[in-house]
Structure 1
Amino acid sequence: MVRAATISADHIPEEKMFQQYATRKNLRHRATISVLAVAIATALTAPAAHGDDLSWGTNPGGTETRSSFAYDLEPGEQARDSFEITNYGTEEISLAVYPADGATTSNGSLELSERTDLATAVGAWIEVDQAEVALGPGEKTSVEFTVEIPTDAAPGDYLGGMVSSYIDTSAGTVVVDRRLATQLAVRVGGEGAVKLNVSAASAQAPIAWNPFEPVDAIVGATVANEGNLRARGSYTITASGPFGWGSTSSEYQLDELLPGSIVAIEQQLPGLWPLLWQQVEVRVNAEDIDSLPAGFSTASTTFWSIPAGWILLLVAVIAASILLGVRRSRRWEADDELEEPVAVESN
């Protein structure tokens, strides 16, 4: 179940929140702010409020307890379902109801399209029976809708959401579009493939002034879901010097990626001993949404790390050795002069 209006982390656990964002658009002489929160909540009903008068919640309808919509359908098949909306506020609220396509942003979060965007997948396959609803305080309604898969739909996973939208004009010159959505996933039958590909590895390390402490390298890469099924997994970053000296590695979790999505990853790799020329490898271990292994991909690069502390220490040792050698040489020359025999003339 997901909850409403201006949603904060106090109402939805962080691990359950897909995205909360705001965009601004010029609309003639007005600014429009669109706020979308996409979440899955497994807790009991607890409305998230905007002031004392605006608060509503959404969740899948029916008698079955669900946190989101999910369908396994073949091309040409249909499914009927309902979107339940409850007004927890103290005033009547009017909401628009519509489906939206979903996509993974470059930072890995889920983004649902705007109502005015052209839908090409989930948003285009769903028809709602009622596009507008008006609810009094405490009222609940279920909006029926049909999911129909086109006969030429490609097999694979598609993600989107059922959206409820409230247009707030109380701010005068600013129009606020508050949207609350429930995730909707469709798997179209056919041959499926899970394939994550990592590329464009990069790395850099700060100058190491302390010769007795390692540094933290910054390693980045690009991960693309080149399959047609949702995928996640983990990735391991390993860095080392020549001949594998000073090897260090760390493992990180990779969030779920939709087919066709590309995300940039960047991590701080601790424990790197600068050895001038170094190499780094990023290995992505793919899994399907059921956590079954689905192969791996690697990308590597080289970079320079400057052990300035060791270089300065070496220079100091060499300089001290040279100075000590000069002093000893001069002392030996002085000793040789003192030991030379003095010629004595005889009468």
Structure 2
Amino acid sequence: MVFRALAAALLAVPLLPATAAHADASGPKVTWTVQPANATAADGRRWVERTVDPGTTVTEHLAVRNLGTVSAVFALTAADGYLTDNGHFNMLASDKKSSDAGTWIAVQPSVTVGPNETRVLPFTITVPAGATPGDHPAGIAASVLSRSGTLQVESRVGFRVMLRASGAARSSLAARGVTVHYEQSWNPFRAGTIHAGYTVANTGNVRADARTSLSVREFFGLHHRDGGAATGELLPGGNRPADARVHGVWGLGPVHTKILLTPADPAGPTEVTVWIVPWPQLIAVALLVALLFVLRTTRRASRRRLARLLDDARREGQALRKDNHP
């Protein structure tokens, strides 16, 4: 039984120049790094980033360093790149077929590296003549196979290769699946919160460091704007769920919520209007009206009672005068 472990522990981190270590129960530990290089040595780049013309071929280099105490054979692979749910860059597993920039990269299938030795190898990037303008992410990894009981485990480490085919670059985002609701405070003297949920989609052809902010306009012309939030890197065609809140919203009638994206959506900002019934304030007003009615009724009853007492006193006084003056 073979377990293709592009493995959970390694897939959970970005494909950047890194060190991987794998302990094989049947042999010594293998530790290695792989990173971009020039023709002679690693050059300090975290990843390869090139703008390339369709129909051309360029040559780059990588350096594989064996930090272990024994010689090791490393498999070299290239594959399409993508972002994980938590925003980390990764490349397709070895049992997944690439269809984009991963197929543009040619690298020798394996390399043997001695203990504490570094091997620098070339790889080529051949861009199809019909490549669409914009970003095409990929990655290169060096991996080793080991055995854990009856399982064969593939452990890998690599770096990203960000290729941009020349042509018109479009950087834009769009908010999709927008939902807006009002979180009401039942304290009539405390404002509530507008909560917006949506998906940020990269509708351009280049990667974007997405930022969003929320603007709220109330019935009385009051304006609120949050400080903005970083949604993170999005590759072309990628999307990520997001939410934002604006506090201090009284919600008296129509509330207009506008989602602002950077880079901006060519179609303009997304705006949603919700009608809010200010129940706490209405209840407070109703209670106040009821209190005023009770006070007014009580005062009227008190005045009528006082008038009756005065009338009774006058009648008693008149009766006494008649008795004293027959």
TM-score of the two chains, using structure 1 as the length reference: 0.75
1:232 corresponds to 2:232: no
Partner of 1:321: 292
Aligned match of 1:53 in 29, 32, 56? 29
Correspondence for 2:48: 69
Distance 1:301 1:164 in 2: 49
CA pair 331-139 structure 1, distance change in 2 beyond 3 A: same
The structure with more radius of gyration: 2
Between the aligned partners of 1:86 and 1:259, the Cα distance in structure 2 is 33
**3-state DSSP class of the match of 2:99?**
coil
Which residue is 2:241 aligned to?
264
Mapped to 2, the partners of 1:159 and 1:31 lie a distance apart of 22
What residue identity is the alignment partner of 1:260? G
Three-state SS of the structure 2 residue aligned to 1:205 is strand
Q: 164, 185, 191: which one pairs with 1:208? A: 185
- Residue 142 (1) aligns with residue 113 (2): no
Matches within 5 A, 1:15-164: 33-34=7-8, 35-36=10-11, 37-40=13-16, 47=19, 49=21, 53-62=29-38, 63=41, 64-105=43-84, 108-129=87-108, 131-164=109-142
Structure 2: distance between partners of 1:262 and 1:256: 10
Q: Secondary structure at the match of 1:313?
A: helix
Provide the aligned length of Structure 1 versus Structure 2: 308
Letter in 2 for 1:143: L
- TM-fit CA distance, 1:158: 0.9
Instruction: Say whether the 8 Å CA contact 2:184–2:191 is kept in structure 1.
Output: no
Q: Where do 5+ consecutive residues of structure 2 fail to align? A: none
- The answer on 1:220 being equivalent to 2:197 is yes
Q: Partners of 2:125 and 2:202 in 1: how far apart?
A: 25
**DSSP 3-state at the match of 1:297:** coil
Aligned to 1:190, what secondary structure does the other structure show? coil
Question: Which amino acid in 1 is paired with 2:260?
Answer: R
Shift of the alpha carbon at 1:254? 4.1
Name whichever of 252-261 and 152-161 sits farther off: 252-261
Provide closer, same or farther for how the CA distance between residues 55 and 329 of structure 1 changes in structure 2, counting only shifts above 3 A.
farther
From 301, 316, 321, the equivalent of 1:330 is 301
Q: 3-state SS of the aligned residue for 2:95?
A: coil
Moved over 6 A (4+): none
How far 1:99 sits from its partner (Å)?
Answer: 0.8
**Among 226, 232, 238, which residue is 1:249 paired with?**
226
Give the Cα separation in 1 of the matches to 2:91 and 2:120.
Answer: 21
Alignment of 1:256-335 (within 5 A): 256-286=233-263, 297-303=268-274, 309-335=280-306
User: Match of 1:148, as an amino acid?
Assistant: T
The answer on whether the counterparts of 2:70 and 2:114 sit within 8 Å (CA) in structure 1 is yes
1:199·1:298 contact (CA, 8 Å) conserved in 2? no
Q: Supply the distance in 2 between the matched residues of 1:278 and 1:168 (Cα, whole angstroms).
A: 60
Equivalent position amino acid for 2:199 in 1: T
Q: Secondary structure at the match of 1:333?
A: helix
Name the stretch that deviates more: 265-274 or 53-62: 265-274
Identity of aligned residues (%): 24
Task: Please tell me the root mean square deviation across aligned C-alpha atoms, in Å.
Answer: 3.2
Letter matched to residue 313 of structure 1: A
Deviation at 1:310, TM superposition (A): 3.5
User: Hey, what's the Cα distance between the residues in 1 that align with 2:292 and 2:63?
Assistant: 82
Deviation of the 1:115 alpha carbon: 1.4
Give the whole-Å Cα distance in 2 for the aligned partners of 1:116 and 1:327: 85
Give yes or no for contact 2:80–2:98 (8 Å, CA) kept in 1. Answer: yes
Post-superposition Cα deviations, 1:223-250, rounded to whole Å, max 9, x if no partner, equal 2222222233532211232143253433
Moved more, 207-216 or 66-75: 207-216
Residue of structure 2 aligned with 1:169, choices 128, 147, 152: 147
Q: Secondary structure at the match of 2:228?
A: strand
Shift of the 137–218 alpha-carbon distance from structure 1 to 2, 3 Å rule, reads: farther
What are structure 1's unaligned runs of at least 5 residues?
A: 1-26, 288-293
Cα distance in 2 for partners of 1:306, 1:165 equals: 61
